[in-house]
Amino acid sequence: MGSFTVNTIAKLLAIRSRKNYTRKKEVQTLRRNTTQRMAIEQVFKEQERPLGVEEVHAFGRKIVKSLNQATVYRNLKILVHDGWLKRITHPLLGTLYERTGKDHHHHFHCRTCNRAFELPGCVLKENEIAPTGFVVEDHEIYLFGVCPSCGA
């Protein structure tokens, strides 16, 4: 086993300390409640439906004019990581985000305004429709049509 000088040990401790400090700063940055993040949260509270990045950006800019798309992406990632939002994959609209803490539900897609809406609850009994021997792990149902705003 080799011997270390006092200077070598001091340098190693300084490097280790810098790495820990950097990690702590990264975590603090992720958790800091910024004006932009609060605006994005407000958008989801007001809209009460799944939203794409572009929608979040457009609604968010009405609250914070300087909000840019990179900030939206970064904050959506943080809010998903923290469990405040969840990511869903829509067959036509791609990735959407919605608030967590809701019971299992499905979605309606308006073909006119191209928005997604939440449908309450789920009537599907997976075990009754799955073929024998199949194990259902999850499911998602999308209904397509025209929403009341567009149909009026």
Query: Can you give the three-state secondary structure of 14-73, one letter per residue?
Result: HHHHHHHHHHHHHHHHHHCCCHHHHHHHHHHHHHCCCECHHHHHHHHHHHCCCCCHHHHH
H/E segment holding residue 90: strand 85-90
Mind listing the domains of the chain with CATH numbers?
33-151 (1.10.10.10)
User: Is the model's pTM score more than 0.85?
Assistant: no
pLDDT values of the chain reduced to their tens digit, one per residue, 152 residues: 456 667 776 666 666 666 655 554 455 454 677 899 999 999 999 999 999 999 999 999 999 999 999 999 999 999 999 999 999 999 888 999 999 988 888 999 999 999 999 998 888 888 788 888 998 888 888 999 999 999 86
